[in-house]
Amino acid sequence: MPVAQDPRRVAMISVHTSPLEQPGTGDAGGMNVYVAETARELAARGVEVDIFTRRTSSETPVEAELVPGVRVRHVTAGPYEGLAKEDLPGQLCAFSAGIMQAGLSVPEDHYDLVHSHYWLSGQVGWLAADRWRVALVHTMHTMARVKNRHLATGDAPEPRGREIGEVQVVEAADRLIANTDDEARELIELYDAPPSTVSVVPPGVDLSTFTPGDRGAARRELGLPPDGEVLLFVGRIQPLKAPDVLLRVAGELLVRDPALRARLTVAVVGGPSGSGLSRPHELEELARTLGIEDVVRFVRPVDRARLAQWYRAADLVLVPSHSESFGLVAVEAQACGTPVVAARVGGLPTAVGDAGVLVDGHATADWATAVDGLLRDAPRRLELGAAAVAHAARFGWGATTDRLLTVYRQAMRERASGTAEPSVDEPLALAGVPTAVIP
Ligand code: UDP
């Protein structure tokens, strides 16, 4: 049962992507997982959640139940198919109107709080929270001004319209959720967010699905050789995620040690996304150019249980992103006991902790040296794998949701009293996870 000051019903807004979609391709990624997992956890605590998302197919029902207590409500805004994320700013009015109509069918005080995800949803949440006279809690997930500082070659800068929209959402939100201290600092320094409105809530990992397991069994299930080295990339395939680094590393390792070719498997699990959609075969072409197509496997996005098998089967998971607000893949891999080699950017140092290896920059030689060193050092991999499991255990979605509820309660109290409270400062029982809100 919810405690007295908990919200009874929360309206979550996720305009551009539905929690029902398979993550790992197109616009579906960590945000879908975040929305679905926190909604489930809220429902388990007795808080009803309606998730509003855009209808993208005539087959999609108007409403679907994710789990008891969590409804996904599909709002018609523009043509179902063929709209890119970049087209959606033109549909925000239609989407907002759809939400207002949905709101008409329920009592005026139906929702106690709006939680919007990504700036497009923040624009809609701003209006919805205002009309329903409730607090708006917003999570950015990614920010244009941060992305534009870390652009990968081939990625177009985020448009100014997005930046302006984000600034408006920062001003309109009662509370902003940052994944890490770094993200909190970016909100304050790059978006002028009042520090007292920013709360740090680390995302989570499904610790019942992502568990250590039998590597041999995982490799058998996936048709991988029982011996030999397996390097893995998981995620949406676009320049920002830098899957090319994995291929270039493999090419470099094979130059350094041609005998490795008989033992090496490089797997890329995920589908094209963002600017990668216009060049869906770029990675295959790169593999051919590097002369490594015989060792590379491209795998379409898989469900969570199968993904756990991929993590277990791998010797190392590479997360070479140019920009990453957190990096769920890194924590999931670690929860399965597989060491991670990650770029030292954004939230990845928090996600990886001391249990993996962080690489500065994206130079192939640096990455190849880090990977090579670990591949040749089985005891170190074992040691890191054990540390990885312990580190990931700090990131359950239950802890994330408890922390979110603290922020929700605070936002509701502030609305009711009309006075701002100091930042959420309850210490998280997650030693080592930075949670302090920047003063
Ligand atoms: N994912 C998945 N199946 C796949 C590939 C990825 O379920 O085949 C999920 C992955 O488990 C992770 C999410 O997609 O939870 C990606 O989140 P991350 O934070 O790493 O990146 P984002 O997509 O948010 O940029």
Question: How far does residue 43's CA lie from ligand 1's centre (Å)?
Answer: 23
Q: Which of 296, 311, 295, 183 is CA-nearest to residue 235?
A: 311
Q: Is the CB of 269 under 6 A from ligand 1?
A: yes
Amino acid at 321: S
- Report how far residue 271's alpha carbon sits from residue 299's, in angstroms, rounded to the nearest whole number: 8
Question: How far does residue 392's CA lie from ligand 1's centre (Å)?
Answer: 16
Do the annotations mark residue 391 as ligand-binding? Answer: no
Q: Tell me the pLDDT tens digit for each residue of 249-278.
A: 999 999 999 999 999 999 999 998 887 777
- Residue 179 has phi, psi (to 5 degrees) of -70, -35
pLDDT of residue 105: 80
pLDDT of residue 420: 77
Do the annotations mark residue 23 as ligand-binding? Answer: yes
HSE toward the beta carbon, residue 16, CA cutoff 13 A: 23
CA dihedral 316, 318, 319, 320 (to 10 degrees): 150
> What number of other Cβ atoms are within 10 A of residue 78's Cβ?
17
HSE toward the beta carbon, residue 73, CA cutoff 13 A: 21
Question: How far does residue 259's CA lie from ligand 1's centre (Å)?
Answer: 33
Q: Give the ligand 1 atom nearest the CA of 332.
A: 11
Question: How far does residue 30's CA lie from ligand 1's centre (Å)?
Answer: 5
pLDDT of residue 112: 96
Residuewise pLDDT in 10s, the chain (439 residues): 455 589 999 999 999 999 999 999 899 999 999 999 999 999 999 999 999 999 999 898 999 999 999 999 999 999 998 899 999 999 999 999 999 988 778 787 899 999 999 999 999 999 999 999 999 999 999 999 999 998 887 778 999 999 999 999 999 999 999 999 999 999 999 999 999 999 999 999 999 999 999 999 999 999 999 999 999 999 999 999 999 999 999 999 999 999 999 999 999 999 988 877 778 789 999 999 999 999 999 999 999 999 999 999 999 999 999 999 999 999 999 999 999 999 999 999 999 999 999 999 999 999 999 999 999 999 999 999 999 999 999 999 999 999 999 999 999 999 888 877 766 543 333 333 444 343 3
Q: Is the CB of 328 under 6 A from ligand 1?
A: yes
Q: Give the ligand 1 atom nearest the CA of 301.
A: 8
Q: Give the ligand 1 atom nearest the CA of 302.
A: 8
* Eight-class DSSP state of 47: -
Do the annotations mark residue 324 as ligand-binding? Answer: yes
CA dihedral 398, 399, 403, 404 (to 10 degrees): -30
Query: In a mutational test of the pocket of ligand 1, which residue from 328, 332, 338, 395 has the highest number of ligand atoms less than 8 Å from its CB?
Result: 328
Query: In a mutational test of the pocket of ligand 1, which residue from 329, 352, 397 has the highest number of ligand atoms less than 8 Å from its CB?
Result: 329
Do the annotations mark residue 236 as ligand-binding? Answer: yes
- Beta pairing partners, 272: 237
- Report how far residue 139's alpha carbon sits from residue 20's, in angstroms, rounded to the nearest whole number: 19
pLDDT of residue 104: 78
Q: Is the CB of 16 under 6 A from ligand 1?
A: no
Element (H, E) at 116: strand 113-117
Q: Is the CB of 24 under 6 A from ligand 1?
A: yes
Do the annotations mark residue 85 as ligand-binding? Answer: yes
Q: Is the CB of 302 under 6 A from ligand 1?
A: yes
By the 8 A CB rule, do 141 and 325 touch?
Answer: yes
> Whose C-alpha lies nearest to ligand 1, atom 21?
30
By the 8 A CB rule, do 58 and 75 touch?
Answer: no
Which tokens in the block code for residue 298? 């491209």
Give the distance from CA 409 to its chain's centroid: 24
Question: How far does residue 29's CA lie from ligand 1's centre (Å)?
Answer: 5
Do the annotations mark residue 29 as ligand-binding? Answer: yes
pLDDT of residue 424: 52
> What number of other Cβ atoms are within 10 A of residue 46's Cβ?
12
By the 8 A CB rule, do 121 and 97 touch?
Answer: no
Q: Is the CB of 267 under 6 A from ligand 1?
A: no
Which tokens in the block code for residue 255? 């130059």
HSE toward the beta carbon, residue 371, CA cutoff 13 A: 34
Number of residues that make up the chain: 439
pLDDT of residue 279: 80
pLDDT of residue 439: 30
Q: Is the CB of 287 under 6 A from ligand 1?
A: no
Q: Give the ligand 1 atom nearest the CA of 321.
A: 25
| The residue to which tokens 């498997």 are assigned | 265
HSE toward the beta carbon, residue 100, CA cutoff 13 A: 13
Burial of 186 (0-12, 13-18, 19+ CB in 10 A): buried
Q: Which of 99, 78, 74 is CA-nearest to residue 87?
A: 78
pLDDT of residue 22: 95
Q: Give the ligand 1 atom nearest the CA of 234.
A: 5
Q: Tell me the pLDDT tens digit for each residue of 168-225.
A: 999 999 999 999 999 999 999 999 999 999 999 999 999 999 999 999 999 999 999 9
Question: ipTM of the predicted structure?
Answer: 0.99
Q: Is the CB of 243 under 6 A from ligand 1?
A: no
Amino acid at 19: P
Question: How far does residue 100's CA lie from ligand 1's centre (Å)?
Answer: 31
Torsion 260-261-263-264 (CA) sign: positive
Q: Give the ligand 1 atom nearest the CA of 34.
A: 15
Strands of the sheet containing 316-319, edge to edge, are 296-299, 264-269, 229-234, 316-319, 340-343, 357-359
> Whose C-alpha lies nearest to ligand 1, atom 24?
30
pTM: 0.94
- Report how far residue 349's alpha carbon sits from residue 127's, in angstroms, rounded to the nearest whole number: 35
Q: Which of 184, 161, 31, 52 is CA-nearest to residue 106?
A: 52
Cα–Cα–Cα angle for 200, 205, 207, rounded to 5 degrees: 135
Q: Is the CB of 307 under 6 A from ligand 1?
A: yes
> Whose C-alpha lies nearest to ligand 1, atom 7?
23
Burial of 68 (0-12, 13-18, 19+ CB in 10 A): exposed
Helices (H), 133-281: 144-147, 160-172, 181-191, 215-222, 243-256
